[in-house]
């Protein structure tokens, strides 16, 4: 893209300031048009909704976003579709978003489908410094078109590349001031691998506690991966409500 990726000053040295006042402050100096973002969440569970809103308000555009899905029409990553800030999605499931379907079918939005396990592993691999890996998932389908195939023990595998994003945005339940994260139940989903694959990771959480307060055995993601951190209130929407008929 012809420019140096921004690296926050607090990432250098031993004394790091990781806690920011709000999402806008946490993204200050990080965003640029055409950037690649990895976003955690699954459906509307564990999505970084405050950071997504800040992305919308920033006006940054031509985004490529790797995320399991693209929210719904009026919430989550769907708000960035509404404002035409997304150029390409790398996703597994897009069935809950009518605007996503409309933009894709009209040619306004690029789409790269990935099986869910492949997408999660691409993020994990990128975060671990692994350039690529072979998997049987997708062999013989459009997912494998144009990709290298290789035979192991008589079985065909397709080469998938690790994802390294300019920015990761994730949602956790609790953090300490050094960025150690704990995710709550299914909100863990894509958040840990997404967090590791970004050159800069910004996390939003429900509670920040002092360093040393968290049991090391309960930490899901070490703070070494997290550069900036905010605490906020979250809506916790239910994506689809299903109830039994009254007897």
Reduced 3-state DSSP string for the chain: CCCCCCCCHHHCCCCCCCECCCHHHHHCCCCCCCCEEEECCECCECCCHHHHHHHHHHCCCCEEEECCCCCECCECCHHHHHCCCEEEEEECCCCCCHHHHHHHHCCCCEEEECCHHHHHHHHHHHHCCCCEEEECCCCCCHHHCCCCEEEECCEEEEEEECCCEEEEEEEEEEEECCCCEECCHHHHCCHHHHHHCEEEEEEEEEEEECCCCCCHHHCCECHHHCCEEEECCCCCCCCCCCCCCCC
Over residues 56-87, the pLDDT tens digits come to 999 999 999 999 999 888 889 999 999 999 99
User: Using CA atoms, how far apart are residues 146 and 157, in angstroms rounded to an integer?
Assistant: 13
Over residues 12-63, the pLDDT tens digits come to 443 478 999 999 999 999 999 999 999 999 988 999 999 999 999 999 999 9
Over residues 130-171, the pLDDT tens digits come to 999 999 999 999 999 999 999 999 999 999 999 999 999 999
Over residues 87-146, the pLDDT tens digits come to 999 999 877 788 998 999 999 999 999 999 999 999 999 999 999 999 999 999 999 999
Please check the confidence at residue 175 and state whether its pLDDT lies above 60.
yes
Please check the confidence at residue 230 and state whether its pLDDT lies above 80.
yes
Tell me the mean pLDDT in the region 195-222. Answer: 97
What CATH number is given for 23-130+160-231 in this structure?
3.40.1080.10
210: β partners: none
Please check the confidence at residue 3 and state whether its pLDDT lies above 50.
no
Please check the confidence at residue 247 and state whether its pLDDT lies above 90.
no
User: Using CA atoms, how far apart are residues 88 and 99, in angstroms rounded to an integer?
Assistant: 14
pLDDT value at position 14? 38
User: Using CA atoms, how far apart are residues 152 and 157, in angstroms rounded to an integer?
Assistant: 7
Please check the confidence at residue 5 and state whether its pLDDT lies above 80.
no
Domain ranges of the chain: 23-130+160-231
In angstroms, the Cα distances linking 231 to 148, 171, 207, 239 are 43, 10, 6, 23
Among 6-20, 165-179, 211-225, whose mean pLDDT is lowest? 6-20
User: Using CA atoms, how far apart are residues 126 and 163, in angstroms rounded to an integer?
Assistant: 5
Please check the confidence at residue 10 and state whether its pLDDT lies above 60.
no
**Nearest of 236, 178, 225 to residue 18 by alpha carbon:** 178
* CA trace torsion 121, 124, 129, 132 (10° rounding): 10
pLDDT band at 243 (very low <50, low <70, confident <90, very high): confident
End-to-end CA distance of the chain, in Å? 61
pTM check: above 0.85: yes
Tell me the mean pLDDT in the region 184-213. Answer: 96
Token pair for 29: 């100096």
């Amino acid at each position: 893209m012809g420019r140096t990726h921004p690296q926050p000053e607090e990432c250098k040295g031993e004394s790091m300031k990781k806690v920011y006042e709000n999402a806008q402050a946490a993204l200050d100096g990080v965003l640029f048009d055409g950037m690649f973002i990895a976003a955690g969440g699954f459906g509307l569970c564990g999505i970084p909704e405050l950071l997504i809103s800040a992305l919308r308000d920033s006006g940054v555009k031509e985004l490529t976003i790797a995320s399991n899905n693209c929210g719904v029409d009026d919430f989550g990553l769907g708000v960035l579709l509404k404002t035409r800030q997304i150029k390409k999605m790398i996703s597994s499931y897009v069935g809950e978003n009518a605007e996503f379907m409309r933009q894709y079918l009209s040619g306004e939005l690029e789409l790269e489908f990935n099986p869910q396990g492949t997408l999660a592993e691409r993020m994990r691999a990128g975060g671990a410094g692994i350039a690529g890996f072979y998997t049987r998932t997708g062999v013989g389908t459009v997912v494998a078109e144009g990709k290298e195939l290789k035979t192991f023990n008589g079985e065909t595998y397709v080469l998938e590349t690790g994802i390294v994003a300019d920015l990761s945005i994730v949602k956790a339940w609790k953090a300490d001031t050094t960025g150690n994260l704990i995710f709550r139940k299914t909100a863990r989903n894509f958040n840990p691998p997404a967090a590791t694959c970004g050159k800069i990771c910004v996390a939003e959480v429900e509670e920040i506690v002092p360093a040393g307060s968290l049991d090391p055995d309960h930490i899901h993601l070490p703070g070494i991966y997290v550069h900036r951190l905010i605490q906020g209130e979250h809506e916790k929407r239910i994506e689809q409500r299903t109830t039994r008929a009254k007897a």
